[in-house]
């Protein structure tokens, strides 16, 4: 793994044909869920649908070039379950001052997709929101329909919603353990 200067992806480029939003309220302090989300290499420890996450290049500021692979499951435990493997390569930047994480896909079928994770403290914990925006694959006529009708709602949402739920559960467990340790 080579080191590089910190990646700065800037604000999200909104107004693209494909936009998916996944969000959840987490009963844990912002510091806990943000730390878990930022530590992408440990996602497979908390998320059974993630095959692997590894930095190809680190920027020394929790960002860099990160390679990710996750399964998009179809079916259920009671029926035939099929895992569809996905893979992508992203630039990743973090903003600790205003807790947020940005990704820009630079490899894979979703090349050009921009992603933003935001974290807002609430009275009961933290509201976490993931926004994915994309022009679609560069396939004439079929690119935008593929992105808006299949890739976004089926694959992106299918993986992001599981990622949010899994990291939320891990943050809530950790938060409850800390509370139990402080009061026990």
Q: Taking the domains of the chain in order of start, what are their residue ranges?
A: 2-183
Give pLDDT, residue 4: 63
Environment class of residue 97 by beta-carbon count within 10 Å: exposed (0-12), middle (13-18) or buried (19+)? Answer: exposed
Instruction: Tell which residue, 163, 120, 99, 126, has the closest CA to residue 28.
Output: 126
Give pLDDT, residue 10: 87
Give pLDDT, residue 23: 98
Give pLDDT, residue 81: 72
Question: How many helices (H) and strands (E) are present in the chain, helices listed first?
Answer: 4, 8
Give pLDDT, residue 183: 57
CATH code for the structural domain at 2-183:
3.30.530.20
Q: What is the CA radius of gyration of the chain?
A: 17
- Is 133:13 a contact under the CB 8 Å cutoff? yes
Give pLDDT, residue 158: 93
* DSSP bridge pairs for 130: 22, 117
Give pLDDT, residue 88: 96
Counting Cα atoms < 13 Å in the Cβ hemisphere of 28 gives 24
Q: pTM to 2 decimals?
A: 0.90
CA 25 to chain centre: 15
Report d(CA 152, CA 161) in Å as an integer: 12
Residue 77 structure tokens:
């435990």
One digit per residue, the tens of pLDDT, for the chain of length 184 reads 445 678 889 899 989 999 999 999 999 999 999 999 999 999 999 999 999 999 999 998 889 999 999 988 787 767 777 788 999 999 999 999 999 999 999 999 999 999 999 999 999 999 999 999 999 998 889 999 999 999 999 889 999 999 999 999 999 999 888 777 765 5
């Amino acid at each position: 793994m080579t080191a590089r200067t910190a990646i700065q992806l800037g604000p999200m480029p909104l107004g693209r044909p494909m936009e998916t939003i996944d969000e959840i309220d987490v009963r844990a302090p912002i510091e806990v869920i943000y730390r878990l989300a930022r530590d992408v290499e440990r996602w497979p420890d908390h998320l059974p649908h993630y095959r692997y996450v590894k930095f190809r290049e680190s920027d020394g500021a929790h960002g860099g070039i990160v390679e990710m692979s996750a399964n998009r499951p179809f079916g259920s435990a009671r029926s035939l379950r099929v895992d569809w493997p996905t893979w992508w390569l992203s630039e990743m930047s973090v903003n600790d001052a205003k807790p947020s994480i940005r990704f820009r896909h630079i490899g894979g079928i979703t090349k050009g997709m921009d992603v933003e994770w935001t974290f807002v403290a609430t009275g009961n914990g933290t509201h976490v929101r993931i926004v994915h925006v994309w022009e679609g694959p560069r396939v004439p006529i079929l690119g935008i329909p593929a992105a808006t009708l299949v890739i976004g709602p089926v694959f992106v949402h299918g993986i992001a919603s599981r990622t949010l739920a899994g990291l939320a559960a891990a943050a809530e467990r950790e938060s409850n353990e800390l509370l139990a340790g402080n009061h026990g």
